[in-house]
């Protein structure tokens, strides 16, 4: 029905920006990028710096690229709150393409001197690093292939190959800006690109490594906006509100934050026009966000999924999950977070509860629970170790890990329910194999945390933590998730 409406396009839409040319190459054309950096870039372009348009690269999927091409590169951001939905069309892109279809084009674009900033949103799982060591995973099939071939598929391979080409051509300065939820994401990305170049045979990577030393900056940034996956229902609602058919609208909460280290090698868009903060305190912003928001989000997702909640908003409405979220924040995260100047942590936390409770947004527990084997490694070991060093057991963090393992690697005979089964995880098969042969939760926890070192070497060596996780898995299996929550809230 709605597809009979005119298609969204340049002739029938008010857009925020109309770039003249591109200055940014973006890897990862997913919903998050389109509702976050693209909106800030549109605001920057609007100030008159119109040569900072974005070339957006999707890794494999055609759907967004095809739809954007059919819509003059436009799409709608639907800002959804219980009070209503506001629609905006950023219009920051000058081109989009699929890397897998035009394999040489990523490096070619990166080598184009007009491109001065490369941004990335490829998720925690897109960096091909080992959660155990934090280093590039040289055994990863994608990295092995990218090291030997010239058409890389992994983001790190793409960056490294593009940097090689740029180094050999113009050698023009460049900034590579990670926008993923990794702590110290700038330094992390730089290290992985360098490790890739160093792993190339002979002296093949040397010129690029010298170019990185001289002309490439990797600032860190903290990004924040809750962006669920698009649904058919959102397409219909957007069409009804707008009178135009948009195949790829993006849902987002009204809140948005971007804190960036102001260390750019060749200029940057004035993202502050969209509200971005340039600061020397990105580390504090990252820590605050990755622990308080993301760490607690994981707890809410896994506990909620086990209780049958499809949405984050449904989960946080359950009184014992809300209490768990309050306790993990107060006792296990907040003591180890230094607030950035001007931010009141209690106010930030109270805003988090409002954001999680945004029921109109439709953010799913399965989405937040996806990729836990990589995400939890960013969110949990740091604060868990700090508590343990003080002689305190971080019960709520242990509960998060126990709930995660119960969702992804359920012991035989335990059904974690449909929302847990819908979570995608690169380690699912390996963890399920461990669970299938384990006798109880204590054994699962010990094999995953201590032997496999899924959350790093240091946590692997904390038997008190491992035992607590194991005990909680057994409680979840024998007495249900509410009993495990009760056990931790009373602790």
- What residues make contact with ligand CS2 under the rule CB under 6 A? 181, 224-226, 293-294, 297, 367-368, 375
We find the least distance from the C-beta atom of residue 322 to ligand CS2, in angstroms, to be 17
Q: Find the helix or strand (DSSP H, E) in which 429 lies.
A: helix 428-436
Q: How far apart are CA 346 and CA 466, in angstroms?
A: 30
User: Closer to ligand CS2 at the Cβ: 324 or 367?
Assistant: 367
We find the least distance from the C-beta atom of residue 312 to ligand CS2, in angstroms, to be 9
Beta 77-81 vs 117-120: how paired, if at all?
unpaired
Please, are residues 63 and 33 in contact by the beta-carbon 8 Å criterion? no
Q: How far apart are CA 409 and CA 420, in angstroms?
A: 10
We find the least distance from the C-beta atom of residue 255 to ligand CS2, in angstroms, to be 9
Phi, psi of 48 (to 5 degrees): 120, -15
List the one residue out of 141, 59, 52 whose CA is nearest residue 97.
59
We find the least distance from the C-beta atom of residue 316 to ligand CS2, in angstroms, to be 13
User: Closer to ligand CS2 at the Cβ: 118 or 290?
Assistant: 290
User: Closer to ligand CS2 at the Cβ: 225 or 235?
Assistant: 225
Instruction: Return the DSSP state at 4.
Output: G
Length of the chain, please?
491
Tell me the CA distances in angstroms from 2 to 7, 88, 232, 242, 250, one per residue in order: 10, 19, 11, 11, 17
We find the least distance from the C-beta atom of residue 342 to ligand CS2, in angstroms, to be 19
User: Closer to ligand CS2 at the Cβ: 67 or 226?
Assistant: 226
We find the least distance from the C-beta atom of residue 132 to ligand CS2, in angstroms, to be 20
We find the least distance from the C-beta atom of residue 30 to ligand CS2, in angstroms, to be 11
The dihedral of CA 56, 61, 63, 69: what is its sign?
positive
User: Closer to ligand CS2 at the Cβ: 115 or 290?
Assistant: 290
We find the least distance from the C-beta atom of residue 129 to ligand CS2, in angstroms, to be 17
We find the least distance from the C-beta atom of residue 304 to ligand CS2, in angstroms, to be 13
Please, are residues 455 and 381 in contact by the beta-carbon 8 Å criterion? yes
User: Closer to ligand CS2 at the Cβ: 230 or 294?
Assistant: 294
User: Closer to ligand CS2 at the Cβ: 106 or 337?
Assistant: 337
User: Closer to ligand CS2 at the Cβ: 161 or 297?
Assistant: 297
User: Closer to ligand CS2 at the Cβ: 93 or 375?
Assistant: 375
For the beta sheet containing 22-27, the strands, ordered from the edge strand earlier in sequence to the opposite edge, are 93-98, 53-58, 22-27, 117-120, 174-178, 216-217
CB burial of residue 135 (10 Å; 0-12, 13-18, 19+): exposed
We find the least distance from the C-beta atom of residue 340 to ligand CS2, in angstroms, to be 16
* Cβ partners under 8 Å of residue 358, min gap 6: 80, 81, 82, 226, 253, 313
User: Closer to ligand CS2 at the Cβ: 97 or 302?
Assistant: 302
We find the least distance from the C-beta atom of residue 184 to ligand CS2, in angstroms, to be 16
Q: How far apart are CA 434 and CA 425, in angstroms?
A: 15
DSSP code per residue over 290-315: IIIIIIHHHHHHHHHHHTT-SBHHHH
Neighbours of 463 (CB within 10 A): 11
User: Closer to ligand CS2 at the Cβ: 181 or 238?
Assistant: 181
Beta 221-224 vs 250-252: how paired, if at all?
unpaired
Owner of token pair 């195949």: 247
N-to-C CA span, the chain: 55
């Amino acid at each position: 029905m709605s597809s009979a409406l005119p298609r969204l396009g340049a002739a029938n839409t008010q857009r925020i920006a109309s770039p003249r040319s591109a200055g940014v190459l973006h890897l990862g054309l997913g919903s998050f990028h389109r509702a976050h950096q693209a909106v800030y870039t549109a605001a920057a372009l609007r100030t008159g710096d119109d040569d900072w348009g974005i070339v957006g690269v999707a890794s494999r999927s055609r759907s967004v690229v095809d739809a954007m091409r059919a819509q003059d590169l436009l799409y709608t951001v639907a800002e959804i709150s219980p009070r209503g939905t506001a629609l905006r069309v950023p219009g920051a892109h000058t081109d989009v393409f699929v890397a897998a279809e035009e394999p040489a084009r990523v490096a070619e674009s990166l080598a184009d001197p007009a491109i001065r900033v490369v941004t990335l949103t490829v998720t925690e799982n897109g960096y091909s690093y080992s959660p155990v060591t934090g280093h590039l995973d040289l055994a990863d099939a994608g990295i092995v292939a990218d090291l030997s071939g010239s058409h890389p598929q992994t983001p790190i391979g793409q960056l490294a190959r593009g940097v090689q080409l740029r180094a050999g051509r113009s050698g023009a300065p460049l900034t590579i800006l990670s926008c993923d939820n990794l702590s110290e994401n700038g330094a992390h990305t730089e290290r992985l690109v360098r490790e890739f170049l160093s792993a190339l045979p002979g002296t093949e990577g040397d010129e690029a490594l010298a170019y990185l030393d001289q002309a490439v900056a990797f600032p860190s940034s903290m990004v924040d906006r809750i962006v669920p996956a698009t649904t058919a229902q959102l397409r219909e609602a957007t069409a009804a509100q707008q009178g135009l058919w948009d195949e790829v609208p993006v849902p987002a909460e009204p809140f948005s934050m971007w804190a960036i280290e102001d260390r750019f090698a060749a200029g940057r868009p004035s993202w502050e026009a969209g509200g971005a903060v340039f600061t020397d305190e990105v580390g504090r912003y990252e820590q605050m966000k990755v622990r308080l928001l993301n760490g607690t989000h994981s707890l809410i997702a896994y506990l909620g999924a086990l209780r049958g909640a499809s949405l984050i908003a449904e989960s946080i409405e359950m009184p014992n999950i809300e209490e768990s979220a309050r306790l993990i924040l107060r006792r296990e995260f907040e003591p180890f977070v230094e607030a950035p100047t001007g931010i009141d942590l209690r106010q930030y936390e109270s805003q988090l509860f409002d954001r999680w409770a945004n029921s109109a947004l439709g953010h799913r527990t399965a989405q937040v629970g996806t990729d836990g084997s990589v995400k939890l490694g960013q969110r949990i070991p740091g604060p868990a170790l700090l508590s343990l060093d003080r002689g305190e057991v971080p019960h709520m963090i242990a509960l998060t890990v126990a709930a995660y393992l119960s969702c992804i690697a359920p012991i035989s005979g335990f059904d974690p329910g449909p929302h847990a089964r819908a979570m995608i995880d690169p380690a699912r098969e390996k963890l399920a194999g461990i669970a299938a042969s384990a006798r109880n939760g204590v054994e699962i926890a010990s094999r995953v945390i201590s032997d496999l070192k899924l959350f790093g070497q240091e946590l692997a060596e904390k038997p008190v933590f491992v035992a607590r996780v194991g005990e909680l898995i057994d409680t979840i299996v024998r007495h249900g998730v509410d009993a495990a929550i009760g056990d931790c809230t009373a602790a």
